Structure 1
């Protein structure tokens, strides 16, 4: 499977083809990404741009690690908006990042058979 939601080939190439390690990392992502998204939403709700930066950056990083490119791209857009003090722009991106994360989590669960 190679698409913007989860680029399997790029992910496993990065890991030297280690499927066991890959499955472990994907399992961690399934737990961590929703938690970071929840923290990001809470930070935006309370207008805390420094925390928006922190959690969007973290979500971008873990998404890029597994090659979940759409989530990483939108998280980066959120981070950049927050770094430029554009709270309204941050809030405009939140439905997009939530949708992309939900789609990605579904793809990963299907991939892992859970």
Structure 2
């Protein structure tokens, strides 16, 4: 039995090929609930796989980069947390900037954006907003850590990117 189906959401005569269950699920979401349902299902994307592959084009190397990310950044987040608590805006800004770049390197867009918001709040020397954004950074970091602890995280990231591309095609982008 063939477990592939053609999900013919064609644009210019091009059909996407997906695993059967995923294709049917996405087509059903779009048909029954509209594009918003498909978009919300993809809104929990943790890693931008397309970006990672464009940068490194090597899954084994990507896994090594991800491992090194978790060598430095837990301590960085602890230091950043302490800096927020004691009101050291310059240190918060520096740690947040480093985390922003490190997260962007591994395609962790939500974490990178959260770190950027914290960096800007620290630059403005706004302790209350810095505390709020620190909570966001910590939450995004935990989501990333949880996601990457799954043995099939690469496959999941690929599927999420595939759904994102479908959404963009449906929107005519």
TM over 0.5: yes
Which residues of structure 2 form unaligned runs of 5+?
A: 1-42, 155-173
Contact preservation (8 Å) 1:5, 1:69: yes
Contact preservation (8 Å) 1:6, 1:108: no
Correspondence for 1:30: 70
In the alignment, the residues of structure 1 paired with residue 44 and residue 107 of structure 2 have an alpha-carbon distance, to the nearest angstrom, of: 9
1:62 positional shift: 0.2
Off by >6 Å, runs of 4+ in structure 1? none
Task: Provide Cα deviations, 1:41-93, integer angstroms capped at 9, x if missing partner.
Answer: 01111110010001000110000001101100010000001111111110111
TM-score under structure 1 normalisation? 0.89
1:10 positional shift: 1.3
1:11 positional shift: 0.7
Alignment coverage as a number of residue pairs: 111
Out of 116, 121, 125, the residue aligned to residue 81 of structure 1 is 121
In the alignment, the residues of structure 2 paired with residue 4 and residue 101 of structure 1 have an alpha-carbon distance, to the nearest angstrom, of: 13
Out of 141, 144, 154, the residue aligned to residue 101 of structure 1 is 141
Out of 43, 51, 61, the residue aligned to residue 10 of structure 1 is 51
Whichever structure has more helix as a proportion of its residues is: 1
Task: Return the structure number with greater relative CO, CA threshold 8 A, min gap 6.
Answer: 1
1:71 maps to 2:111:
yes
In the alignment, the residues of structure 2 paired with residue 58 and residue 14 of structure 1 have an alpha-carbon distance, to the nearest angstrom, of: 19
In the alignment, the residues of structure 2 paired with residue 88 and residue 102 of structure 1 have an alpha-carbon distance, to the nearest angstrom, of: 22
Correspondence for 2:11: none
Which residues of structure 1 form unaligned runs of 5+?
A: none
1:25 positional shift: 0.3
